[in-house]
Structure 1
Amino acid sequence: MTLYADLQVSRGSFNLSLDLTVEPGEVVALLGPNGAGKTTALRAIAGLLALNGGRIALDGSVWDEPPRTFRTPDRRPIGVVFQDYLLFNHLSCLENVAFGLRARGVDKQIARSEAARWLETVGLSEYARTRPRALSGGQAQRVALARALATDPSLLLLDEPLAALDASTTLHVRAELGQHLQRFEGRTLLVTHDPLDAMVLADRIVIVEDGQIVQEGKPTEVAHRPRTDYVAQLVGLNLYQGTASGTTVTLTEGGTITLAEPTTGPVHVAFPPTAVSLYPTPPSGSPRNTWPAVVTGIEQHAHTVRVRLDASPTGPSTLLADITPAAVADLHLTPGQPLHTTLKATEVHTYPV
């Protein structure tokens, strides 16, 4: 059955108001900036933080519904992997994995046998007697995951599970974690600020800003149709709002953008930075979208350079353009430099507000 969580939490001046569902076999990612309320939501579902209002229920069993009902964490069928894993350094990996089972009253030998089976599942049988301090970050993450799954939880909660890893380890461990989650038949809620973790691991992404859900959907939908500036920046798109009439969108912030295909009504307008070209002088011909602009920032992005621009009142107020290092040299780019920009109408996408 579905996990249903209507989360109403107040902490000082911060108010969290989220309505979440997670289906069996589904991985849902809570994605948002620091301070958005992601960890507060996870702690409330785990029973580490009581609701001020709302309701959390699974399989017809109510976990939290103030003021009448509150189940403590040990009475909720959950497994949790924390950001720092929180393994017990005085216990071996085997005893760490067996800990949750022993805490639930399982016989010591049965708990150890089950723990050994889980260590084998995550590929760490040979580390059964090893203490956590001797493990790599990726190995510690797998032990924490085995400990969480050993209790056969109905709900798996992952709090920034890859944040403690170095960049060279993250790619491999992310792939391994994805394989384990695909086999997990319960429900998984992943809290992360990393869009790549969410895009790779989740079946559905819920974007949280300032304690509210601002967008949710499948990873491809969120990536191609962002609805806030935060999401657009995550996926690397220019995003605006406006009103379309035919092939012209009048932007809410001022200026217009010409489209390749006609549409009508309030729309989001999105296009990749690679669709923006930069010129030292007005381009020849008659491009449908061309505006003077001023360079406000230059950033290295992998094999490209991202240029931030303030455009003229006739177009978007700000623009992102991705160009090659060779183009940066040819244009002699510096902050404050005036340029001319063009945008390919065929790469502009619109969708309803």
Structure 2
Amino acid sequence: MRYDLEARYLGRVRTRGRTMTLTARLQVTRGEFVLDLPLRVHAGEVVALLGPNGAGKSSALRALAGLLALTDGHIRLDEHTWDAPPSVFVAAEQRRVGVVFQDYLLFGHLSALDNVAFGLRARGMRRAPARARAQEWLTRVGLTGIADRRPGELSGGQAQRVALARALVTDPRLLLLDEPLAALDAATRLQVRTDLGRHLRDYPGHTVLVTHDPLDAMILADRLIIVENGRIVQQGAPAEVAARPRSDYVADLMGLNLYRGVARGTVVDLDDGGRLILAEPADGPVFVTFAPHAVGLHPQRPTGSPRNSWPVTVTGIEQHAHTTRVRLDGTPSVLADITPATVAELRLRPGLEIWAAVKATETRSYAA
């Protein structure tokens, strides 16, 4: 379903035949932490910022919203400049920005309808038309019949939809989503993620999503930006980032073993020690990845088809759904996903010395 406002909105965001683009250089210094994040978001695009705690994702979102002034850099939406120290700073209430916070921050004393109408009223719209438009948005997000309920009477999924309607009802040019599904239980999250994805596909503005959940990012975003220590370490389409991680954080996020080394033909000497054999030759600095389920564990050194094998020591055992993840210290260290039956057969326990093996055909390499 296309929003009724789309035609009017697109008329505003196109100037002289050019589609408006958000461009920014988000530079913020707080004590010893420095955020330096170049950002470009096209109209209709959803960009997800991922990274560990303290990476600078929230600072980036707050800067875009106008809740945190830049130390240096700029924020521009085509011909409009929102922040350019030291001379320009547009206050948050004057930016065409909609925000959905992690905890939604709905006003507890207002009904769902008046929560959605709040932004319109704050911009001077009269009460009757503001409430009428808010009701249209509640219907649009699938909340017919709950207009009079207060936030305490809403389920988590309903509260998330009210927060989204409140953010979109003012026709924002930029939509900011701060962990929008984090407060939901697993069952509700699945449905709300699907609904949110539909609304984002229809939204013609610019969207920046902050999340710790790789599944949310993969499903909702057109492009991922991985931020670590205030800097971009990798960006690209979700499938590209998933297939070719370039940091340990991304590899952990995607559930892969990742190593860096120097390739000479089918042999890679790893930077942290050890050696891996590839199925396809390469040359120069490379990353090598393989999935934990590709790792076999053996009581003695395996024989047979050509493969990588090396001694390891069990350092941890964790249950993951129907598989068991084993952490192994060695040269190199490695994660292995095996069945509970294999755990019993090998009598795995921390401190046990065994052998890890990976077929060369299970490895993948690409330029570092």
Specify the TM-score bucket, using the shorter chain as the normaliser: over 0.9
1:228 corresponds in structure 2 to 247
What amino acid sits opposite 1:165 in the alignment?
A: L
Deviations 1:212-271 (A, max 9, x none): 111101111111110000110111100011111111111111111001011111111111
1:125 corresponds in structure 2 to 144
Aligned partner of 1:320 among 335, 355, 359 = 335
Deviations 1:81-134 (A, max 9, x none): 011101111111111101111111112211111101000001112001111110
CA RMSD of aligned residues (A): 0.9
Deviations 1:65-84 (A, max 9, x none): 00000000111111000111
The separation in 2 between residues aligned to 1:178 and 1:338, in whole angstroms, is 47
1:106 corresponds in structure 2 to 125
Report the Cα offset of residue 168 of structure 1.
2.2
Deviations 1:41-87 (A, max 9, x none): 00001000000000000021000000000000111111000111011
Aligned partner of 1:21 among 40, 59, 74 = 40
What amino acid sits opposite 2:230 in the alignment?
A: G
The separation in 1 between residues aligned to 2:147 and 2:305, in whole angstroms, is 69
The separation in 2 between residues aligned to 1:53 and 1:119, in whole angstroms, is 39
Report the Cα offset of residue 193 of structure 1.
1.2
Aligned pairs for 1:1-353 (under 5 A) are 1-285=20-304, 287-312=306-331, 316=332, 318-353=333-368
What amino acid sits opposite 1:341 in the alignment?
A: A
List structure 1 runs of 4+ shifted beyond 4 angstroms: none
Report the secondary structure of 1:125's partner residue: coil
Is the contact between residue 6 and residue 54 of structure 1 (CA under 8 Å) also seen in structure 2?
Answer: yes
The separation in 2 between residues aligned to 1:185 and 1:296, in whole angstroms, is 50
Report the secondary structure of 1:138's partner residue: helix
Is the contact between residue 174 and residue 197 of structure 1 (CA under 8 Å) also seen in structure 2?
Answer: yes
The separation in 1 between residues aligned to 2:282 and 2:53, in whole angstroms, is 37
The separation in 1 between residues aligned to 2:70 and 2:118, in whole angstroms, is 28
The separation in 1 between residues aligned to 2:100 and 2:34, in whole angstroms, is 25
Is the contact between residue 244 and residue 366 of structure 2 (CA under 8 Å) also seen in structure 1?
Answer: yes
The runs of 5 or more residues in structure 1 that have no matched partner are none
* Amino-acid identity (%): 65
The separation in 1 between residues aligned to 2:359 and 2:304, in whole angstroms, is 13
The separation in 1 between residues aligned to 2:301 and 2:273, in whole angstroms, is 22
The separation in 2 between residues aligned to 1:284 and 1:24, in whole angstroms, is 56
The separation in 2 between residues aligned to 1:5 and 1:324, in whole angstroms, is 48
2:11 corresponds in structure 1 to none
The separation in 1 between residues aligned to 2:194 and 2:367, in whole angstroms, is 35
What amino acid sits opposite 1:329 in the alignment?
A: A
Is the contact between residue 73 and residue 85 of structure 2 (CA under 8 Å) also seen in structure 1?
Answer: yes
What amino acid sits opposite 1:211 in the alignment?
A: G
Report the Cα offset of residue 198 of structure 1.
0.8
Report the secondary structure of 2:163's partner residue: helix
What amino acid sits opposite 1:207 in the alignment?
A: I
Report the secondary structure of 1:208's partner residue: strand
Report the secondary structure of 2:355's partner residue: strand
What amino acid sits opposite 2:364 in the alignment?
A: H
Report the Cα offset of residue 286 of structure 1.
5.2
Is the contact between residue 310 and residue 357 of structure 2 (CA under 8 Å) also seen in structure 1?
Answer: yes
Report the secondary structure of 1:297's partner residue: strand
The runs of 5 or more residues in structure 2 that have no matched partner are 1-19
The separation in 2 between residues aligned to 1:164 and 1:142, in whole angstroms, is 13
Is the contact between residue 287 and residue 342 of structure 1 (CA under 8 Å) also seen in structure 2?
Answer: no
Is the contact between residue 74 and residue 81 of structure 2 (CA under 8 Å) also seen in structure 1?
Answer: yes
Is the contact between residue 27 and residue 36 of structure 2 (CA under 8 Å) also seen in structure 1?
Answer: yes
Report the secondary structure of 1:196's partner residue: helix
Deviations 1:167-213 (A, max 9, x none): 22111111111111111111110011111111111000000111111
Report the secondary structure of 1:99's partner residue: helix
275-284 vs 148-157, which deviates more?
275-284
Report the Cα offset of residue 284 of structure 1.
2.5
What amino acid sits opposite 1:347 in the alignment?
A: E
